[in-house]
Amino acid sequence: MTAPRIKNVLSIAGSDPSGGAGIQADIKAISANGCYAMAAMTALTAQNTEGVSAIQLLEPGFVAEQIDAVFRDIEVDAVKIGMLGDAAITTAVADALLRQRDLKPPRHVVLDPVMVAKGGDRLLAEAAVTALREHLLPLATVIVPNLPEAAELLGLPEPKTRADMASMATALHALGPPDGSGAVLLKGGHLPGPESPDLLATAEGEFWFEAERLFTRNTHGTGCTLSSALAARLAVTGDIRTAVEQAKAYIDGAIAAADQLDVGQGHGPTHHFHALWR
């Protein structure tokens, strides 16, 4: 019996030299979830577990060249989009993905609208939010915002209840692909209370994923890690609900095992290889 082809997943994001978030976290999470990881970089950062001290955005045309080079040569099964930085890079990424539709289009696009780092440093210029909303949301198979990011995308107050989350997820879903095929995984980690529920909104309905809140300060890069795991599991399974279940189980395990690592003085990383390092 021939073994199934290993899927190829491309991350488009910024670099984190401390390894807990960004491109570095994406490569770890994609690899840990059984796929071949590739990367097109949008920005360099000087950061560690305590915060971001400097950001150097790459030239938009060069970001697009990286994406085009990968697609010219490699079958891309899924794309994860993370930190973009500004409107010009956001538009360049959208245009590059649109070009691939006539060549070898990716089957799945997971968009993590990275706006603020764990330490509070802003990673997306405010002017770029409009470009993200207008150019990338319509291309996304799944958008994976937290509650503050969702509120900023919609220009609404941050949700405080599950009912607020449901209303916001519906509004975000309407900004996705015109045919309604997209989905929204709205992360409820900022919701008050002991639970951390996530809501998946699709054309077929809404589905809640329940989880207890895990108390650890080592949560650097959780958004990057979850969205990358989701892109990998989408590439493998082809089913959004199944991929979300598997990605959620993975990130919960990575957070639960985070205290096994000893990385930095601030918000340490999750344990991407918790299931492999025994």
Catalytic residues: 187, 219, 221-224
Q: Cα separation of 173 and 177, whole Å?
A: 8
Structure tokens at 241: 């609900």
CA distances to 35, 112, 201, 232 from 258, rounded to whole Å, are 22, 21, 29, 21
Q: How far apart are CA 26 and CA 269, in angstroms?
A: 12
Question: Residue 225, exposed/middle/buried by CB under 10 A (0-12, 13-18, 19+)?
Answer: buried
Residue type, 176: G
Q: Show Cβ contacts of residue 227 under 8 Å, excluding neighbours closer than 6 positions.
A: 80, 82, 110, 111, 112, 144
User: d(Cα 219, Cα 257) in Å, to the nearest integer?
Assistant: 11
CA distance 27 to 24: 5
DSSP one-letter code for 116: B
